[in-house]
Amino acid sequence: MLQRSDNFETDATDVDERERMHNVRPSDWRNPQPAQRYDLVVVGAGTAGLVAARTAAALDAKVALIERALLGGTCLNIGCVPSKALIRTSRLYAEMRDARQYGASFPNDIRVDFPALMQRVRGIRARISRADSAHALVAAGVDVFFGEAHFIDDDALTVDGATLRFKKAMIATGARPDMPAIPGLAAAGYLTNENAFDITQLPRRLLVIGGGPLGCEMAQAFCRFGVKTTIVQHWPLFLPREERDAAQLLSDAFARDGIEIRLDTNVEQVRVDGAEKIVDIVRDDYRNTITVDAILTGTGRVPNVDGLNLEAAGVAYDRDRGVHVDDFLRTGNPRIYAAGDVCLEHKFNDTAEASARIVVQNALFRHRRRLSALTIPWCTYTDPEIAHVGLYVRQARERRISVKTFTIPMHDVDRAIADDEEMGFVKIHVKERTDQILGSTIVARHAGEMISEITLAMVAGIGLRRLAGVIHPYPTQADAIRKAADACDRTFLSAKS
């Protein structure tokens, strides 16, 4: 049974959903009496807002946190947490499907228990929501306000009829799914990350529009649940930002899973015929029609800047880039900063968190920490995962830096062979004639875990040769990093001889 509580649709009979709502939007919540002036007012209680509010309160600042929907924002409620929980179960189904490869056998008719797997997703979300709960924030010294924030001046805003004055403010209102301008799509109805985790039945046939991280992760997960999945991507390869060989491997993995791949293809229009959605797609001049039961879009995210009345606060913004900030995350108003998806090019949870920490230090302590000083890794959680940190080769070339690359294919790594997870590689770029690490791309089952070693080396200024002397437990897939480091070391030794 779905009930609307404070305008948020939730299953009131589900114990996990009740717990999550109790944590992230308590139904009996009363906003506090505002303080005379806050040291820091934070607008938006997603990852960036929560981190800033907690950190500032721990440093004895008087802090208010405003949220119009659910504490935890995108990551907890409709992003990283539910998607990764779903992906984990999809991997299990893929492993059961491939059981013979591992010398095991399963009945041929493995049934996907969709209600049970969604129950697991809800349970995980409820458990993680405890850390983001309104009551925990109050206990940490944060004044929590539910309602929509509107700036009324360069040092004041309103929420739920109350006026909050501030010495400093941080805008952390995040981003929402972009709606592609495809004739007929809105009328036909479609899924985004905002409603995909609430479906109660698997569609038989699914079209995913968009081959970025979200589209790729969801297409593979649904395909592995037995949904006949087609993915349409406007560009010639998935994940256009990643190196071509990494994106090509992902295409190969999708083909192996049985995903119908349509690259270089656009969706022209959507029509409805009874319960079916008829989708016209075009590649060059070749037109085709696909019939599906559901459409999921993953065509990008747009910053939430509407309704904040940023003009009154003297904060510049536009609808594509969001709030304009400098390298110190200051907006045009010296009292107001921004962090997270609302202002950053890299829309990741870790970046939202790191940018919020920079704001607290710069706003409250007059530090001058720069966004550009961060080393930001990221990962797309497909199978294999694709993780990256630092420069791509093309970026190094644009900066006229000569690059030498050391590549270890995963099929040369004993643990990957033992695990039957040989698809992928570790690639590390160094500045030519040095061992200074410029960047790395890892394609491997656990690339997201492995990239941290390279990130640490880059942040600490550790050259690749030194990693050759770091003993990695045998056998691990991360040993591929040591092998790349060995290869780098050998080039120096042979240059000397």
Residue 194 CB, nearest distance to ligand FAD (Å)?
8
Residue 120 CB, nearest distance to ligand FAD (Å)?
17
Q: Is 457 among the residues that bind ligand FAD (CB under 6 A)?
A: no
User: Which of residues 56, 214, 336, 443 is near ligand FAD by CB under 6 A?
Assistant: 214
Say which amino acid occupies 436: Q
Q: Is 304 among the residues that bind ligand FAD (CB under 6 A)?
A: yes
Nearer to ligand FAD by Cβ, of 172 and 480: the residue is: 172
Q: Pick out residues in 335-374 that bind ligand FAD (CB under 6 A).
A: 340-341, 347-350, 352
Find, among 347, 256, 361, the residue nearest to 301 by Cα. Answer: 347
Which residues, other chains included, contact 35 with Cβ-Cβ below 8 Å and sequence gap of 6+?
62, 64, 143
Nearer to ligand FAD by Cβ, of 142 and 214: the residue is: 214
Distance of CA 424 to the CA centre of its chain: 21
User: Which of residues 43, 53, 323, 416 is near ligand FAD by CB under 6 A?
Assistant: 43
Q: Is 299 among the residues that bind ligand FAD (CB under 6 A)?
A: no
Structure token pair of residue 202: 């698997």
Q: Is 220 among the residues that bind ligand FAD (CB under 6 A)?
A: no
Binding segment for ligand FAD (CB under 6 A), chosen from 169-177, 202-210, 267-275, 368-376, is 169-177
CA separation for the pair 9, 189 (Å, rounded): 18
Nearer to ligand FAD by Cβ, of 350 and 419: the residue is: 350
Nearer to ligand FAD by Cβ, of 341 and 435: the residue is: 341
Q: Is 190 among the residues that bind ligand FAD (CB under 6 A)?
A: no
User: Which of residues 47, 297, 331, 441 is near ligand FAD by CB under 6 A?
Assistant: 47
Interface with ligand FAD: number of residues (CB under 6 A) = 37
Nearer to ligand FAD by Cβ, of 65 and 478: the residue is: 65
To the nearest 5 percent, what fractions of the chain are helix, strand and coil? 35, 25, 35
Q: Is 424 among the residues that bind ligand FAD (CB under 6 A)?
A: no
Which residues, other chains included, contact 297 with Cβ-Cβ below 8 Å and sequence gap of 6+?
177, 178, 179, 180, 185, 190, 191, 192, 208, 209, 210, 215
Nearer to ligand FAD by Cβ, of 80 and 182: the residue is: 80
Residue 471 CB, nearest distance to ligand FAD (Å)?
30
Q: Is 121 among the residues that bind ligand FAD (CB under 6 A)?
A: no
CA separation for the pair 137, 59 (Å, rounded): 14
Task: Please provide residue 161's backbone torsions phi and psi, each rounded to the nearest 5 degrees.
Answer: 85, -10
Binding segment for ligand FAD (CB under 6 A), chosen from 39-47, 220-228, 319-327, 430-438, is 39-47
Residue 174 CB, nearest distance to ligand FAD (Å)?
2
Is the distance from CB of 232 to CB of 207 less than 8 angstroms?
yes
Task: Please provide residue 435's backbone torsions phi and psi, each rounded to the nearest 5 degrees.
Answer: -115, 20
- The DSSP result for 236-279, as a single string, is SSSSTTS-HHHHHHHHHHHHHHTPEEE-S-EEEEEEEETTEEEE
Binding segment for ligand FAD (CB under 6 A), chosen from 25-33, 127-135, 167-175, 200-208, is 167-175
Q: Is 49 among the residues that bind ligand FAD (CB under 6 A)?
A: yes
Edge to edge, what strands does the sheet with 425-431 contain? 378-380, 385-390, 437-444, 425-431, 403-409
CA separation for the pair 173, 23 (Å, rounded): 20
CA separation for the pair 122, 111 (Å, rounded): 20
User: Which of residues 44, 203, 211, 384 is near ligand FAD by CB under 6 A?
Assistant: 44
Nearer to ligand FAD by Cβ, of 52 and 188: the residue is: 52
Is the distance from CB of 150 to CB of 88 less than 8 angstroms?
no
Q: Is 449 among the residues that bind ligand FAD (CB under 6 A)?
A: no
Residue 32 CB, nearest distance to ligand FAD (Å)?
16
Q: Pick out residues in 63-82 that bind ligand FAD (CB under 6 A).
A: 66-69, 73-75, 79-80
For residue 310, how many C-alpha atoms fall within 13 Å in the half-sphere facing its CB? 23
Distance of CA 18 to the CA centre of its chain: 25
Is the distance from CB of 460 to CB of 454 less than 8 angstroms?
no
For residue 163, how many C-alpha atoms fall within 13 Å in the half-sphere facing its CB? 7
Say which amino acid occupies 44: G
Q: Is 222 among the residues that bind ligand FAD (CB under 6 A)?
A: no
User: Which of residues 144, 182, 247, 308 is near ligand FAD by CB under 6 A?
Assistant: 308
Q: Is 211 among the residues that bind ligand FAD (CB under 6 A)?
A: no
Q: Is 198 among the residues that bind ligand FAD (CB under 6 A)?
A: no
Q: Which residues of this protein are in contact with ligand FAD, per CB under 6 A?
A: 43-49, 66-69, 73-75, 79-80, 83-84, 148-149, 172-175, 193, 214, 304, 307-308, 340-341, 347-350, 352, 381
